[in-house]
Chain A
Amino acid sequence: GAVVSQHPSRVICKSGTSVKIECRSLDFQATTMFWYRQFPKQSLMLMATSNEGSKATYEQGVEKDKFLINHASLTLSTLTVTSAHPEDSSFYICSARTPGQGNNQPQHFGDGTRLSIL
């Protein structure tokens, strides 16, 4: 149980293109999802926390107009990288928190999306 599907797994596109990445919880409802970015040989950095039905909470230094997050249902959150540039090339990973009391439920991670901007 607790499977998170992330799509696409890899995207290669031209500079200036907007790219949408989907994160789905397949067998549970996730009121909270997280988006991370991983630079080569570096750690995962939390970009934003996505709450169903409300605006995402962005971490300091993350441009909300650049990285649009929509959590329109209890099983789907999307991250759109708008007008992507080569410096946006990275590995993006989502996670979904299983439902339960409080905020200490485990997170389950998607397989990630490798974004390459030419």
Chain B
Amino acid sequence: GNSVTQMEGPVTLSEEAFLTINCTYTATGYPSLFWYVQYPGEGLQLLLKATKADDKGSNKGFEATYRKETTSFHLEKGSVQVSDSAVYFCALKGSARQLTFGSGTQLTVLP
């Protein structure tokens, strides 16, 4: 079946540091890939997505590139802010059209 493995947290960075959260997946066919963000006390929000190989999703300074050769979709941001503190979930949607989530990575950005 489908599965998503993402970098374990928690991750603590200083403001303006570079962020990478690794995500790899296992799926048959050609899944769509997503990053969701969950701010404290809130529900999940879609951060970005990519639907085919070599696509780059981007939003709010975050980027992730769909790498089929390495089955990866790593999340990056060049300069994080305190307001980026949240839990980040990598997810895929396969042929069954259901979302499969990774375990989530807690990010804390210190001023």
Asked if A46 and B45 sit within 8 Å, CB to CB, the answer is no
CB atoms of A49 and B98 under 8 A apart: yes
**Once A and B bind, how many residue pairs between them come within 8 Å at the CB atom?**
44
| Chain B residues, Cβ within 8 Å of A102 | 97
Q: Are A6 and B43 in contact (CB under 8 A)?
A: yes
The contact string, 1 if C-beta is below 8 Å from chain A, for chain B 79-102, is 000000000010001000111111
The interface bits of chain A over 29-64 (1 if a CB of B lies within 8 angstroms of the residue's CB, else 0) are 000001000000111111001000000000000000
Asked if A106 and B101 sit within 8 Å, CB to CB, the answer is no
- Is the CB of A107 closer than 8 A to any CB of chain B? yes
| Chain A residues near B (Cβ < 8 Å) | 4, 6, 34, 41-46, 49, 93, 95, 102-104, 106-107, 109-112
Is B32 in contact with chain A by the CB < 8 A criterion?
A: yes
Interface of B is mostly: strand
Q: Is B104 at the interface (CB under 8 A from chain A)? A: yes
Binding site for A on B (CB under 8 A): 4, 32, 36, 41-46, 89, 93, 97-104
Closest A-chain residue to B45, C-beta based? A109
Beta-carbon nearest neighbor of A10 in chain B: B41
6 CB < 8 A contacts A-B: A44-B89, A45-B101, A46-B98, A46-B99, A102-B97, A111-B42
